[in-house]
Structure 1
Amino acid sequence: MATTLGKLGYLVVAICSSGEEALARFEEFRPDLVLMDVHLAGQLDGIETARELQRRGSVAIVYVTACADLDTVARARETHPHGYLLKPFNHDELRLAVEVAAQRHFEENERQRREHSYFEAFQSLADGVIAADLSGGVVFMNPSAARTTGWNAQEAIGRSLHEVFRIFQSTGEPAEILSAEAPADSTERTVYLTNLAGERVAIHDRSAPLRDAQGHLSGLIILFRAAVTAPAPMETAATTRNTAPLVDVVESISDPLFSLDSRWRVTYANASALRLFDRNLQNMLGLSLWDIMPSATRELHHEAFAHAMLHRETVNREIYLDEKQIWLELRGYPFGEGLLLLIQDVTARREEAERRNRIDRLESLGLLARGFAHDFNNLLTVLLGNISLAEMRLRNAITLPELHTAKQATLQAQNLVQQLLTFARGGAPIKTQLRLGDLIETFFTHHTRANRVEYRVEIQPGLPQVAIDSAQIRRMLSNLIRNAEQAQPEGGEIVVRCFAPDHAEMFPGEMVADTNFQPSGLAIEVEDRGEGIPAEHLPHIFEPYFSTRKADNATGLGLTVCESIAKAHGGSLTVSSEPGRGTTVRFYLPLDSDSEEADAFGLSKVFDTAPDLTNSNPRILVLEDDPLVRSLIVRNLTSNGFDVAETAEGTETVRLYQESFTQGRPYDLVILDLSIPNGMGGVRAMEKLRAIDPEVFAIVSSGYSDDPVMANPAAYGFASVLPKPYEPADMLRLVRNILSTRGIRRTSSQQD
């Protein structure tokens, strides 16, 4: 038989000899159809096994047996088999029995699936649903109907429909339940339901007939919902105080909810809706939705709500309530001839989505900025370099203010790109050893001061050097000073302090054994006497794009960038403010081992004049793909007595260095551009140069100031970094410093 079934296209998953074995294999294979003899080996016969299989799952049973006695057939019939095939049988009889059983099984499963989906739908409906058979007995009740009638669904099953669904006319006369023979589109009416507790509830009800697969009438289904209407004339004042369970649920909903009729008039509003619109029930009922909402709401949303009302569809819209400055989500559902509106405050969700959108936009802008930063900084290098060279040439002859203005504009252009990169990409600092006090004083030397603002700088003497990215710290200081100036539009005072905070201030409540203890950190404070920051704004001041100065075209990125710089240096930024009395911003910078790393090559020392180099005409090899930048570098170095060789791609750089090294004339210094499009860049070239000469000295230069190589050059074998754009004088100082260090190291090596 298994072979025959296989030829017919059926998959035989198991062949069992006993009922016990069949039950064990059933859990493993879960077959759709079981062909079973009545007489089996083991304790269970086929009929007992069939009962157990059907209890465990949906399966079709076909008995294949020689038993035809009435008792066996009667027992088998109780299991509702899908077939009963008597032995002996031929191939066609087996095929027909299996096909009929399989088809019937699949149809039953599909019918059960549909019934289950209908059941789930009825269970979740807000309307009450009661189904009854032709005899008037309740066969189904959904949760909404149970709440409204007060009956437990299980207790109601089997009871008379007239007992469970007791309805009356407005006059108090009993109302007839709509007949099952009534058309499916019978008119909805308003009646009064008396629930199990004796309370009367106004409802709208309608009925529809239930029919079986053959179209024969099999019962009645009633759909009803609570009606928002006036009390029935026969109800007393005491009765009207009783509310239906469904109404209690609606009133207890924390979200505002109200209903509209077909002319947009409010027919019901729960307590939350009344609180939202600051009205009482008498003032709310009868008002038009468009009178309640802001004036712009009708123009923006009337079409969507009208379409939903006309086509009996749900609608979901978001509106802004100006008077309360909140966002509301309005979800409308068909209700009677109008709509039921459920309102939810989604202000927090909107603000979070807007914040994420702003961050995404900023990150995208940062990626875009980084994409052109290299070329842009190359151009700035050329502009800044040539302007600086022109200034130096004309210094003794004539002073041109236009050159100074152009130079300042170039530096500002650089600052804009770097601010964006600092925030969007993290901006790993390029640290060198500096004194914070010197940096602050230099900053104010070039800072354009605001009118009617007094500036006071207080620097504690004897502060140690710290490892910082001077460009980033200047950028942070510039943002803080600008904020302080904008906070005092009528004039005032700005105090900038640089000091080592005492332990009691930074760590209150802790005892220090050493009275001479100095905290391992420095602080910069910027204090103003301006308008201050309201308490409700303080939690948001570090958020991107947050600004209260929209009229001043403020970007809202100033403090966000400052916080990024502080974190990148391992420090922190704190703000304290009192409205009307001013604001104080403190940047705390811990002292750490980075200072040793920043001075690993002795580069903190800056020579004002050219040092006494061992080689009177040092040889420098330059890798730079941009011809304008390369020309600037060559002119700058050659005019100061250096012997310069230039290359545009890393392979050529390595070749020239190899030739020179083989001839016993290695280059004293190599300046490598970090990124070379479609060619070997600085990092790869440096690896090859170190393989040729482990003592090679090199400077890495790039417009990608946020690249890891720029933040930690020693890890890649570089002596120092030269971020673009830079002034020619900065390059000369760095080159002389590196060559002096190389000379010192070589002298020490020869003495050893």
Structure 2
Amino acid sequence: MKILNGLRLRWKLSLLIAFMMSTMGLITISVIDHRMEEALLEALTEKAASIAGNLAIDSVDPILVDNRILLHQLMLNVYSNESDISYIFIANPDNSILCHTFNNGFPSDLQSISHPGAGAKSLHQRFETEEGIVHDISIPILKGKAGYLHLGVNASRQDEKIAAMNRDLIQLAFMGALLGFLVAFLAGRMMGKPLSALADAVKLTGRGEISPALPVTGDDEIGILTDKFNRMSADLQTYLEERDEAETALKQSESLYRSLVENIDFGITYIDSDHTIIMANNGQGRMFGRDPESFIGKKCFNEFEKREHTCPHCPGATSMITGKPAQVEAEGIRKDGSRFSVLIRSFPVKDPDGKVTGFIEVVEDITERLQLEKEISKARQMESIGVLAGGIAHDFNNLLTAVFGNIELAKLFLKDPEAARERLVDAEGACAQAKNLTGQLLTFSKGGSPIREKTALADFLRETCLAFPFGAGIEFNLETPDSIREVMTDRQQLERVVTNILENSCEAMPSGGSITVAAANVSVAPASSLPLSPGNYVEIKFTDNGPGISPEIIGKIFDPYFTTKDMGSDKGTGLGLSICHSIIAKHKGHIRAGNHPAGGAEFTIYLPADESAKEAGTDAARKKQTGTSGKAPSDSLRILVLEDESVVIETLTRMLEHLGYEAEFAMEGEAAVRLCREATDSGTPFDLGIMDLAIQDGMGGLEAFRKILSFAPDFKAVVSSGYTDDPVMADYAAYGFKETLPKPFSIGKLEETIRKIR
């Protein structure tokens, strides 16, 4: 090796080419020798197998007739015509020799030769003898039932052919190596000088110095190489300068990034596509009470949430599917087992081809924030409850004061019936206000289930708004095109909403102003900011030019008993807008309050459109009948009353007696059914029933009514209850009742109800 190091390039090149030519020659000889040996052997064995197969077929008949002379003659004919065949013999199934071609007897070393196994068509065996390597081809005769034919071929002749060919190839390889050496020596002399100069320049560049430009001596490869080297040197100098600048900027950027990632309060992790954690920052470690290095190489769902499989809410999986950021709120588990709330934001990571290879998760501990939000929400709820309780106490105390005071005065005026009557009328009025207040509270809370019917909104708004007493100084505009979609609404409840909003606007403009009500068809998309399901809606806008809504109260405007006015029967209860909110919510719609850009307040209502509507129609107005005659009707009625409150029974008895009706009372549903059955069987059925829904510790009015209908299908009944939010009260006709009688009720309302269905 030291000798080669001291040689010049042309000698090295010459020796290298000579060595390569020699090596290639030897490799070629070796490959050809191996391939030739394989080819000759394959041809020899194929030929032997073909001969053996044909001979095995020809041997079947002599073997079956036990004609050994003919069998031996067949074998000798083949043996004498093929010089490569060393022997042929046939062995019986019991391994005894039936016939062979050996002159000096059958060799003992072939006695134990193997035969083809069951189902095998042939068997090739190789073994050495005194005459050389022999390949034995064995063929079963009649699947081995008639014996096995063995044919041996000697490979010595093919070895002689291969040896002769190898000698010729070696001579040819030697001549090629010598010629290559001479050509390389001459070429080396021509290339040596410019290459030496190029080598010196490369050494100089290798030491970090930029070589001066080398002279280009020609247009050949060496000249091109020299020119390329000169350009490379110039580019290298530019690259080194830019690299130094980039390395400096990269170090600064990496330092800034590392400082930002490691010191931020958020946890940051890089996770690959199979949810294995690649990187985790110090914030992630602090959040989970662990060394961030302990996360590396582990599954995120196991480390952060102690799961065995991917988290069902995993935002990273969503980001990898959609290729977009995602976020979710979840729970993390610290090293000590304690749980805390987190907001997880995930961002997909893509390779240069745009394929998603993983995701980055930014984890924020939101435990304190959620706790604070809960406390704020609880405080607001308590504030609303406090306002609600105070308002209820205020209104009921006022009403009870009027009731008690008037009753006391009536007692003092018993000797003066007219004065006593006036006091009782005032007490009755206070009770009516109390009833109205409870109705509003039920509508606000959970009651007042709407009885929806198809409503032509344009006609409804026109009728309701034009009937509203706006008062002096108020200019009203109604914009309702005929193309407005129909809606399914409870007309009475929606009328209350419209009236409450109009009253609110009028009270905000005591000196006058303008109010506009406009309706339009709108569609809500899935990505809409409105808290509504996608679909078609009708939008109703109430706009006035009053002072508008101040920012301090806009968030409380739908709270119960919140009002900017003085509380009292003559000023308002503070339930108007909260009732509007409750009614619209029960209609699966939405109401919001704000200020119009041009000034004034603006209330917007969204109601689901009736998709089945084809033509707009006008609904018949509901008619109300009030008053009492105080006189008995022309004919008496037998009325069955189901009621479990003694005080109500006593009062109702006097009312019905005053109206001239005959009544029977049952305090349990079972008793009412029994009385009705007895009356029906006796031929004197009841004309009417008044059924209380809620019966303590027994069958209620609905169940009793259904049992009565089973044997008296024409039985007419009125449903009555103090629970006006009950669905039976809201949709009494669907349950078979003729009318509803909400408690408390007056004698006039009782008479009116009975007259409707008698």
TM-score using structure 1 length? 0.38
TM-score using structure 2 length? 0.38
Structure showing greater Rg:
2
- Greater helix content: 2
